[in-house]
Structures are given as C-alpha cells and as structure tokens.
Structure 1
Amino acid sequence: MAKILVTGGTGYIGSHTVVELFNAGYEVVIVDNLSNSEAAILNQIEKITGKKPEHEFFDLCDEAKVQDFLSRHTDITGIIHFAAYKAVGESVQLPLKYYKNNLYSLINILESLDRKMNFVFSSSCTVYGQPEVLPVTEDAPVQKAESPYGNTKQICEEILTDYCNINKDLSVISLRYFNPVGAHETGLIGELPIGVPNCLVPFITQSAIGKRGPITVYGNDYNTPDGSAVRDYIHVVDLAKAHVSAIKRLESAAAEDNYEVFNLGTGKGTSVLEVINAFESSTGETLNYTIGARRPGDVEQVWGDVTKSSNLLGWSAALGIEEMMKSAWKWEKYIAANPFN
C-alpha cells in the first residue's frame, strides 16, 4: 500500500487518523514537533494497531528540514496535513504566532514537492464564520474570520486553491470539520492538550476528574434554544475515517477538479449545555459549571450539511454524542492512571 505522511501525527486527530490508516493497510510516516503532543503517543498507536509508525520530530517551519525530509522519503504518495496551532482564544491574543506557524508550514511543504502528490488539508468550519443559512454547505460564502486561527484556515485554503490552479500534479481535498471530540474506543489515545484546555470536552473531563475547577459556559444569551453556543460535534474516530476516505478518493482520481472541499460533521447542532448534560447522563458523573461572558472569537451557532461527503466520499458519521462523551471519559481516566510524564 501507499505511504502517507501525516504531519502533526502524534496530535489528537492525527493519532486517530494514523490508526485508521494502518487499519486500512497504509504505511505511515509522522512528522511532528511535539509542541502540543507527546512522543509516547507512538507507543499507544502501536498498542492499538501492532505497528509503530515511522516518525521524525522537527518543526515544519524549518524550510531546510522539510526539503531534506521530502528528498529522502521519495516513496510518499500522499500527505495529510494536520500540523497547526488551533486554539481560537489564544490566536486572538497571539495572532502572529498563528500566522507564522500555520502559513509557513504549509508553504514549506508545497515548495518542497517535486512529484505528483495527493494532499488532504485539515481545514475547519471556522472558515464559514457565522453562516447566514444553516446547515451550512460547502457552497456557502466564506465569511470574515472571527479569529486569527480561523483566518489562517481561510488563507491556507486560498493558497492551496491558487497553487492547484498552476500545479496539476497536486490533487487536494480540504476537509472542513466541525468540532472533534471523543477518543478511541480502547481509551488508549485521545485529546491531550498541554496546559489548560481551550476546547470544551477535555475541560469537562479534566474538571470531572478533579484536575480543573468549575467549567465556564461562555455565554447563555445567544439566540439558541438554551442560550448557549451551538456546534456540530463529531466523534474523532469518525473524523479519522473520513481522512482515509479522502485519500482513497484522491488515489482513484475520481474528481473533475484537483481541488475539492468537504464538510465533516454529523449535520446536527448540539449546545454547550446539551454536551454537559450528555456527559452527565452517559457517565453518571456530576459536573460543576458556571455561566460566564461570551468568549472573543466564538460564533453563535454552526452545523454542517454533510450531503456532499456522503455522496462523494462515501462517508458519514456513525457515532453520537453519548459515545463521544463515554470515550472521552474513558480516555481521561486512563491518562490519569497512566500519565506519560
């Protein structure tokens, strides 16, 4: 089978995608600088799959190292590019950090390609901003980004679109995913943010296990059924499988264009308070939470139309919010009992 480069492959979504690539018979090589992940994840992947991925740890913003890596790994036929900073709130406070890392890493990879390549880009529903119509389709206009993080995803998509126009050896699928949560069913890999989590579910699980204080619900005055913000939460395993489907579509050369975009979500919106209730009902744990002010950069509500992904990728989400919460809690308990450091 083909060898796939997974950048950010020890990260949350990346590690789950490596597992699904192995399950589908692919060879995998990981590049990661461990800025928001742990090298121990390689051993966890091996426990799940029986295979330890080839890996190199360096920063993709280092142009010379990227060129050297790709010149040595001539058997790579596909790239799944996850490596990026991703915290919305932090990006508002440190915009240059996000622009430098998220843009340079992509540009360095593209400039170093000297052969035909299939490329899957980890994009985000943040490119839609606050959509005027819900559910949002891939044809919806890209709105002004609500955060520097969201803007980096918009700019990266523009870079890929422009480059695909002049480089027909590059075939790209941008996957605009909604809110990944949950963990692998084994409980051996999951979301492991360094420091205080910026995302809801890891903060919930860390709060429930006593590592954090009360959960803050950022805003209860939105124009939503219960006043809290609404998102399309998707199980990370479903999301990982979609990346395999994207690679297979690129390999089949089924697309008429060498640049395509797909939404990845469940097609259903769930509020922050509904997520909290789902965690409590699925785990039997009681959460302590407070209501706070709205968070800068957050949109009110968004969920996706995933018809295109179903029709062309042959993919759809299979796991619901209960499985998401149960698996996230299983992972949190595992890592509390088996810390990596």
Structure 2
Amino acid sequence: MSSPNFIDYVKVYLRAGKGGAGVSHFMRAKFVPKGGPDGGDGGRGGHIILRGDKQRSTLLHLKYRKYIAAINGQPGGDGCKTGASGKDIILDVPLGTVAKRGDQVEVLVEILEDNQKYILMQGGKGGWGNTHFKSPTHQAPHIAYPGEPGMEDWMVLELKLLADVGLVGLPNVGKSTLLSVVSAAKPRIDNYPFTTLVPNLGVIAYRNDHSLVMADIPGIIEGAAAGKGLGTRFLRHIERNSVLLFMISATSENICVDYAMLCRELAAYNPFLLEKPRLLAISKIDLLDHKGRASLLQALPQDIERLCISSSTGEGIAALKDAIWKKLHPK
C-alpha cells in the first residue's frame, strides 16, 4: 500500500433510482371497443448496493466519485405490462469497510465477507397502473400513481483493516522494520519519526504452513486521541485486530511510562481496545549490552507478557511468532 493509493475514508452522495410511473390505459381491440383498464405498473428504481470484494484493499476507486445516481424505473405499459426496473449500481469495497449515513456515528453495515451485499440506498417503488383501481362500482378508473422517489443521502465509507495482530507504538520504534523482516511487506523505513504515513499489511508464515496477518499503523504520540500527530485517523485499523502487539524501543528513557501512555491513548479512543489480548515487544534489544539488558528487564511492566527482540539480528523473532500464535489460538 503506497501513500497515494491507500484511501480508507470517502464521503459520497448517493441517489437511488425513482420508481417508474403507473399508466392509465384501457384495452382496445377490433371487437372490444370499450375494454377494461389494463395500465401496467412502473418499474422499481435502481438500488445502490455495497458488495464485499476480497481482491480490493483500498477505497481509492471511490475517492473522486462524489455523486452516484442509479437509473430510474421505466413507466408501465398497456396490457398490464410492468415497466423495466432501473439498473442497480454495485459499489465493490474491501473487506472491513463500514458504512455510516452522513456524519452519524451509527454504523449501518460492516462488510466482512467476500460477495456480502447490502442495499445502501433503496430504489423507489413503481407506481400502480389503473388496473389496480378497478372495482364493481368503478369499472373505468383513470387513476394511476407516479413512482416513489428513491432514497438519497450522504454516505461515509470507512475501511478498517482486518488483521490478526496490530502493531502499536510510538514513532520510530521499529514497527515497519519488524513487518519487513517477518513478512514480504515492503513498508518505507527511515530513521526519523512518522516514516509510516499509511497502514501496511503483511502475511507472516508460521509453522506447518500456517500464516497470520500483521498490520502496522503510523506511530502514536501522547495526545493522539485529541488530534496530535496523526491523531486518531488510523486507530480504527486496530479495532478489528485480534491481538495488539505493543512495541517500545529498548532505548526508551522509561518503558513503563511509554506503555502507560499508549494504553491511555487507546482507551481514550475506544476502551474496548484494552480488552484485546496484548503482548509487549521490546525492540532494538541488540543496542544494549549485558548490563543494560539486566537493568531493562527489572524495569518492565509486570501486567503484560514481554519479549525482547531485534529485527536486525533476528533475536527473539521466532519466540515472538510463537507468542502471537498462542494468543490467537489459546488452548
């Protein structure tokens, strides 16, 4: 996922098709000069449908489509013929996409399965033709209903990445480097904060041909939940991760303080995140000598499983994979 192509938020105005008008018509034939009503109903307006597509990973294809309208239904015909329905518009989206109406908080649907469909905007019903209004006392009605308007409104689509484990940490603690080492992902890596500007996904090979998916999001700083740094823009991507892997550099001045800050920011964004299984990886452990390691181990948080790793030397990487797998598949 490169920065220009990864789009995880779009707002678009959607209008479903209007139903076709019913027709007021009377049967006329050579030997039936005064036939009864035979006006057909109008066709249904086209729906706008959301559909899951496992091949997609971004909402880029919808970024510049600010207005999408479905086709109207066709009017009814004589001989009780129903008009053609308007063609539906199908919006294919990545798995993990949620839809909200306008600026409302309530989620209308979460697309989690391939080919899952949901009607976002329902097309209007077609109007009745005059055949519906015939009665013993009213045998020649001239009444026909127009079609109903289709639904229309602003719609927000947000993508929340689906992954087994999400990386949580301050900027420049080695999250992207770890992802590049354990998977085939090629995130941008530089020695300065906020190198990662978009989430990255990587598939990690595990024992016996198993695999798991890891998500790396941009670094979190104190005050992120209030909008500092990159704010909460990407925190939604760890809401669906099964396990959270906190990463803190071995060179941190105070690992316990950093860990507590990360927990506070997650809780401020969504308290449910802290109910997920957690691991703590102390990165860049190769930068410490034996004495420094001994001192560090005595100053680690006690309420979380901890591992020391080095993406440069490979130290602790296999143990980290095992720990993640156990969290995902507890006995």
TM-score w.r.t. length of structure 2: 0.32
Q: Which has the larger radius of gyration?
A: 2
Greater relative contact order (Cα 8 A, min sep 6): structure 1 or 2?
A: 1
Of Structure 1 and Structure 2, the greater helix share is in: 1
TM-score w.r.t. length of structure 1: 0.31
Of Structure 1 and Structure 2, the greater strand share is in: 2
